[in-house]
């Protein structure tokens, strides 16, 4: 958590020094996050699942940069909305545990075939 | 960082117990992440920027759940790709600092008008 | 409709000549479509709504190319899924007309504030 | 083309009758389009490519509705930006034909492995 708070503060300062808070409305940050998440999807779009498990060094490098962008905008958006990432993740995991009990979800993967 | 590693391990175990690793190829996780990022964008899409800075309690609650989903899939994807989120974020921030020096970026916001 | 069928056939032939059908599973085309839609969102992400109504010639040119990419993948995906774009659009409009009757939707814009 | 113009006019009228043009800035429509494209991706995210080629009737029905939403927002955004969908698609196909000549692209699928 200390590390996430430190990252949040570095990003907060980065924007402040550049007078970028005017651009960083939650609406705009949510757009930027969605755009970066799609950029992260892009290198995978024509790969087979198998290929995606065995990226080349060049692919890995590109993907690392996109993962960073997604993370940065997520931390930034959470800051603007006063959301504690670890707290909401834990709450969601508790919800999911109730929603997908092991005995019912194991093997059957009902989550993935409910359409 | 301890907290992120702990979250990664909880999610790793969650998937393992349910036999979900077969679904969690990087390709699929990148799709899920992009889908969740767009679900996070959805509540903002018709709001003005000003409204997005002042969410109602109901909107905030919905947004918190979506932020959690994005974070969870990001941690999961990073785990599968053996990426350290804090490390890549720091590397990217260093890159951005070189790319957008304060004196050139401040006020002019050239990043945002380069099209 | 004739024009849409003609476009569908041109794209079908384009892929066939290049042996690209192996990559064009509905799953992959849906990814590509989402990626292109986000590339179309990118030039708008830091603009105000007002600025987005008054693009510069350079911005317009970039946006035209992205609109084309979205349209092309949409036609391609619809072809693979045997979906008639005009038919499903008309069905959806009829649904929306029932869901958002003029007298209830006008002015109140309830669709946009239901969160 | 007549059919696309007719669809554009129906959607234009639909928004006008409900006073929704105030929400339909290009920025917002581009967000809505990206959100809908991700909703279209969602039912595919955990499927194998093979499964995505053989949707169940229930999956097909869900997918048809999402394809319609993407198409509707695309037509609406193109209208707001004064873009002729067929014209930009044809221009892009010509570009792509030059970029991916058959003899170089066939079999090698270099487009898909350039990372």
Q: Do D74 and C71 touch (CB under 8 A)?
A: yes
Radius of gyration (C-alpha) of chain D in whole angstroms: 18
- DSSP characters over B26-95: HHHHHHHHHHHHHHHHGGGTTS-HHHHTS--HHHHHHHHHHHHHHHHHHHHHHHHTT--HHHHHHHHHHH
- Could you give the percent of chain B with pLDDT greater than 90? 87
Predicted structure pTM score: 0.95
| pLDDT, tens only, B33-76 | 999 999 999 999 999 999 999 999 999 999 999 999 999 999 99
At C60-115, the pLDDT tens digits run 999 999 999 999 999 999 999 999 999 999 999 999 999 999 988 885 555 554 43
The SS3 assignment for A25 reads coil
ipTM computed for the complex = 0.94
Of D48, D58, D112, the CB nearest to A115: D58
Residues in chain C with CB shorter than 8 Å from the CB of D46 are none
Q: Kindly indicate the confidence band of residue B110, based on its pLDDT and cuts at 50, 70 and 90.
A: low
Q: Do A106 and B14 touch (CB under 8 A)?
A: no
Whole-number Å distance between alpha carbons of A57 and C93: 47
Q: What subunits make at least 3 CB pairs under 8 angstroms with A?
A: B, C, D
Residue B114 pLDDT exceeds 70? no
Q: What is the mean pLDDT of chain C?
A: 93
| C-alpha–C-alpha distance, residues C92 and D74, integer Å | 14
Q: What is the predicted pLDDT for the residue at C107?
A: 59
CB D53 to CB C25 under 8 A?
A: yes
Of A35, A102, A96, which is closest to residue A69 (Cα–Cα)? A35
Q: pLDDT tens for residues B86-99?
A: 999 999 999 999 99
Of C111, B77, B71, whose CA–CA distance to A41 is shortest? B77
B contact set with C (CB within 8 A): 31, 34-35, 38, 43, 46, 48-49, 56, 58-59, 62, 111-112, 115
The pLDDT tens digits of the residues spanning A100-109 come to: 999 888 855 5
Tell me the pLDDT tens digit for each residue of A21-71: 999 999 999 999 999 999 999 999 999 999 999 999 999 999 999 999 999
* Residue contacts between B and D (CB atoms, under 8 Å): 35
> What residues in D contact B48, CB-CB < 8 Å?
none
From D46's Cα to the closest Cα of chain A, the distance in A is 6
Q: Which long-range contacts (CB under 8 A, 24 or more apart) does B9-16 make?
A: B10/A93, B11/A93, B11/B72, B11/B75, B11/B76, B11/B79, B12/B79, B14/A93, B14/A96, B14/A97, B15/B76
Identity of the residue in A14, A31, A49 whose CB atom sits nearest the CB atom of B28: A49
Contacts of C111 in chain B (CB under 8 A): 46
């Amino acid at each position: 958590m200390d590390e996430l708070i430190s990252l949040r503060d570095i990003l907060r300062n980065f924007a402040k020094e550049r007078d970028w808070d005017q651009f960083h409305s939650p609406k705009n940050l949510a757009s930027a996050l969605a755009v970066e998440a799609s950029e992260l999807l892009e290198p995978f779009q024509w790969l087979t699942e198998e290929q995606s498990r065995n990226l080349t060094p060049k692919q890995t490098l590109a993907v690392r940069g996109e993962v960073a962008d997604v993370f940065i905008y997520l931390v930034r958006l959470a800051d603007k909305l006063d959301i504690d990432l670890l707290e909401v993740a834990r709450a969601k995991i508790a919800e999911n545990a109730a929603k997908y009990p092991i005995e019912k979800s194991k093997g059957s993967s009902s989550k993935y075939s409910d359409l």
